[in-house]
Amino acid sequence: MVTVIQFSALIILALLAIYLFQVLFSGFRTTQLATGIAEAQRSLLQTQVAEIMGKINLEREKSEFSWSGFRKFSVHRKVPEGGGICSFYLQPHDQKPLPSFDPGQYLTFRLNIADQPKPVMRCYSLSDSPKSEYYRVSIKAVPAPRDNPDAPPGLSSNHFHDAIQEGDILDVKAPGGHFFLDTSKHTPVVLIGGGIGLTPVLSMVNQIVESGSSRETHLFYGVRNGDEHVMKEDLERVARENDNVHLHVCYSKAGEGDVEGRDYQHSGRVGVDLFKEVLPSNNYEYYFCGPPPMMNSLFEGLREWGVPEKNINYEAFGPATVKKKQEADSAGDPAASDSTAGFDVTFGKSGKTVAWTAAMGSLLDLAEENGVDIDFGCRAGNCGTCITALKSGEVDYLSEPGEKPEAGSCLACIAVPKRPVVLDA
């Protein structure tokens, strides 16, 4: 017979057991939770350490394997891509390791072209992600301008297409440039290539997918029609195999055989109106490269849409670059100063002094306008061909120079005077 005391004792024991069980279980749960958090933290830390180590190794390799001046490369493969574009796969002739590069950077070539009195310098973006075996550039053959069909066609691009063959040797400067994807970030990106301006963003998207990054990526590619649409299968495969990559091909003037939904996704040009339609928000980092009208309208459109300037990255393939409205209004910026205000520019060797105004463009433009000879290559502040000694005065740059020239000289193709200057030209 169970007495009340025994019954009470049993109840107390049961309660004690339940209490102990609860304490033990909650302790176990807390421990489990703590272990889970610690594990998550450890794996996050491991990922961060791996990323930092990767970056350190990459930087070490870059500086260890890089070179100054020109290095000989042989053309390993020459591959026609269609649309007047040809890719060149380059391998170092000395067979030593290749330094990596940041996707978006370019190579500078020094070409000896028949009938040209001096070597011709041109820059071409690396069009694939960094690979240990080769560098790749993709070059569009530039015809004579539409409004001047009798002018000679593009010198360097046609030389690459017509004269350069597999096995040929080229002089190449190490990868350079400030327009590149920050691969240490995981923030969503919008990559935009107009025509041949696809090349640097192609390198970026390839790097993103090949590194296994799940970074949200929207790639907009604008061309006239199917005839100009290059790397079609590659891009479609990248988008098909990677959920984080969204491809938006835009044809501005689709051809008869081009089918919307099959060959391209959008009719019309790449622009901010399209971004508003297809992007969930404006909260991306933007990287773009393309023809001058596209560059200007994208920059202004993105700013008007509220995208901070720090999130807008771009590169021009020639003299044209983005003209910033807000800067044009700001006082003190020589690139944007009142077109009636100016400074005297003296070309010492030629014995000419002319008045410069912002409307006249760079010092190279001014020199050409006044019959003063200054050598040039890329006209974008990258190749260094137009470096001119500055005997007095000070200059500013319309865009960031690829490599700052030494004190006392300037890159005439992107330089504008800050006050009266005397150039050794």
Ligand X SMILES: Cc1cc2nc3c(=O)[nH]c(=O)nc-3n(C[C@H](O)[C@H](O)[C@H](O)COP(=O)(O)OP(=O)(O)OC[C@H]3O[C@@H](n4cnc5c(N)ncnc54)[C@H](O)[C@@H]3O)c2cc1C
Helix (H), strand (E) at residue 166: none
- 144 touches ligand X (CB under 6 A): yes
Nearer to ligand X among residue 63 and residue 148 (C-beta): 148
Distance in Å, CB of 215 to ligand X, minimum: 23
| Matching residue, tokens 């100063």 | 337
**Nearer to ligand X (CB atom), residue 129 or residue 337:** 129
The answer for 361, left when phi > 0, alpha when psi is -120 to 50, beta otherwise, is: left
Please select the residue that binds ligand X; options are 152, 257, 280, 332, rule is CB under 6 A.
152
Is 279 among the residues that bind ligand X (CB under 6 A)?
Answer: no
- What kind and span of H or E run contains 225? none
Residues 309-348 as x/- pattern, contact with ligand X by CB under 6 A: ------x-xx------------------------------
Residue nearest to ligand X (CB): 154
d(CA 106, CA 180): 10
Per CB under 6 A, which region of 8-16, 121-129, 217-225, 274-282 contacts ligand X? Answer: 121-129
- If one asks whether residue 157 binds ligand X (CB under 6 A), the answer comes out as yes
Binding mask 89-108 for ligand X (x = CB under 6 A): -----------------x--
Minimum Å distance from CB 48 to ligand X?
33
Decide whether 106 or 347 has the Cβ nearer to ligand X.
106
Q: Rounded to the nearest whole angstrom, what is the least distance from the CB of residue 232 to ligand X in the complex?
A: 17
> Are the C-beta atoms of 143 and 185 separated by less than 8 Å?
no
Q: Which is nearer to ligand X, 199 or 337 (CB)?
A: 199
Q: How far apart, in whole angstroms, are the C-alpha atoms of residue 188 and residue 285?
A: 6
Q: What does the alpha-carbon distance between residue 272 and residue 299 come to, in Å, rounded to a whole number?
A: 9
The rounded Cα 286 to chain-centroid distance in angstroms is 10
Separation CA 92–CA 59 (nearest Å): 19
What is the nearest approach in angstroms of ligand X to the Cβ of residue 180?
Answer: 11
Among 99, 102, 122, 223, binds ligand X (CB under 6 A): 122
CB 349 within 8 A of CB 389: no
Nearer to ligand X, 170 or 421 (CB): 170
Q: Give the C-alpha separation, 279 to 98, whole Å.
A: 38
Judge residue 422's burial from the number of C-beta atoms within 10 Å of its C-beta, 0-12 exposed, 13-18 middle, 19 or more buried. middle
| Cβ count near 294 (within 10 Å) | 21
Report the nearest approach of ligand X to the CB of residue 217 (Å): 20
- Map residues 168-187 to x or -, x wherever contact with ligand X holds by CB under 6 A: ---------x----------
Spatial CA neighbour of 135 closest among 181, 192, 71: 71
Task: Write each residue from 365 to 394 as x if it is in contact with ligand X (CB under 6 A), else as -, in one continuous string.
Answer: -------------x-x-x------------
CA 231 to chain centre: 18
Cα dihedral value 168, 174, 180, 181, nearest 10: 90
**Rounded to whole angstroms, how far apart are CA atoms 235 and 60?**
31
Minimum CB separation of residue 106 from ligand X in Å reads 4
Residue 109 sits in the site that holds ligand X (CB under 6 A): no
Q: Which of 155, 354, 389, 422 binds ligand X (CB under 6 A)?
A: 155
Closer Cβ to ligand X, 87 or 337, answer by number: 87
Give the containing element (helix H, strand E) for 137.
Answer: strand 135-140
Among 3, 95, 148, 340, binds ligand X (CB under 6 A): 148
**β-sheet with 120-125: strand ranges across:** 120-125, 106-111, 169-176, 70-82, 85-92, 135-140
Positions in the binding site for ligand X (CB under 6 A) = 106, 122-125, 137-140, 142, 144-145, 148, 151-158, 177, 196, 199, 315, 317-318, 378, 380, 382
